[in-house]
Structures are given as structure tokens and as C-alpha cells.
Amino acid sequence: MLETGRVVGVVAACLAVLVMAASLALRSVASTAAVDTVERVAAEIMLFSQTAVDPATGGAFQSADRFIEVYLSQRVAGRGELLAGTSNGGERLALVRGDGAHDLSAISDEARLQVLAPGSAGTTSSAGVGAITWRNVKVHAGDTRGFVAVVVFHAAESAAAAWSAFGLAALAVLALVAVGLTTWRVSRRPRRDRRARPSGGDATALA
């Protein structure tokens, strides 16, 4: 039994370290994914503002407000994504929100001021919604400009990472149980007598 306990203890320690390392890696991936999403959407907005045409006129957008309204009306936000358009004067123009994303009103006043600051970008934490990564994109059309705040809530990706970590922990427990049972069964088997037996020649000689 002592040998079984040692084997199970070593395996348990190794599995615990493995699960912790995997959990930290998943959280890091979730944070990196948020930054990548913000940068990708920001690049998409800037490209679209330079190449898109106004469906009402068939020509280039003459107003940043008009561009923002059209763009956000056609945009489908991904999980945890929030896109909020504002005019140069700070007027709210349009907003699109994906699954797991909160409204701007759910963000603390301090964090909301950071998100809506023209040209701002970064990662911060807000009470009630957790960590967020954002980038406020300047949009130019005609002689006007506006802004689109691209916000990603980490909680959406973190929840997926937490479920993955939970799955790994469950597998680790099953593996530990399997190792324990196997070791216990092996230890319960009767040991064979490994003492050397005299060969036939030796037996005859002794006779």
C-alpha cells in the first residue's frame, strides 16, 4: 500500500502541475486573442473607410457619421465584441454588440472615458465586467471625422478557457483514479517465489 501511495502521489503532483500550466496558458491565449481581435477589427474599419462606397449615392462617403452608421449596420460583432460609433462632437451614432459583450453603460465611468477618448487604445479592468481591451479608431470621410470604439470583453474568452481547464482537470482526475486502481491491483497480486531452484544436474549430484 505504501508503494501504491507513493506512485499515486507522484502522478497527482505531475497532473496538478500540468493542469495549472495548461490553465495559465489558456488564459494567456484568451488575452492575446482579445488584442488580436481589436487590432484586426480596427484595421478592417480603416480599410473599409478608404475603399467603401455609400450605397445611397454609389460614390465615396462624404460624411464620417454616415460611414459609421452604414458600417455598423452591416457589421456582425463576434463573441465579446462591442463596436460603438460616435461623431466628432461625441454624439452616439450606432452600436453593435456580440454575445457576451456588455453595453457601454455597464463599464465604469473611468474606463468608459478611456474607451471613448479619440485615438486611445489599451487594456484595463472595470468593475462588473472584468478586463477589456479596446482601440478607438479615427474615421475620416469628406471633410468630417468620427470615431469607432472597438471593445473586447475578456470574460467571454476567459469563460471558454475556464471550461477547457475544467475539462483538463476532469481528465486528470480520471487518469489519477485509473493509475491508482492499476497500481493497487498490481500490488495485490501474489508475488512469485523468485528464489533460485537447483537444476536437475545439481539435484542428482546431491542425491
Domain ranges of the chain: 38-159
Which pLDDT score, from 0 to 100, does residue 89 have? 84
Instruction: Please count the helices (runs of H) and the strands (runs of E) in the chain.
Output: 5, 5
Task: Give pLDDT < 50 ranges for the chain.
Answer: 2, 22, 25, 161-163, 165, 193-196, 203-207
Task: Please give the pLDDT value at position 72.
Answer: 95
Supply the pLDDT for residue 205: 46
Pick the closest to residue 81 from 41, 123, 121 (CA basis): 41
pTM of the model: 0.64
Radius of gyration of the chain (CA): 31
Whose cell is 480599410? That residue is: 47
Task: Give CA–CA dist 101/109, Å, rounded.
Answer: 17
CATH fold label, 38-159: Beta-Lactamase (3.30.450)
In whole angstroms, give the CA distance from residue 80 to residue 129: 11
Secondary structure class of 99 (helix, strand, coil): coil
Tell me, what's the pLDDT at 17?
Answer: 59
Q: Give the HSE-up count for residue 18: Cα atoms under 13 Å, Cβ half-sphere.
A: 15
Cell numbers standing for residue 72 = 455598423
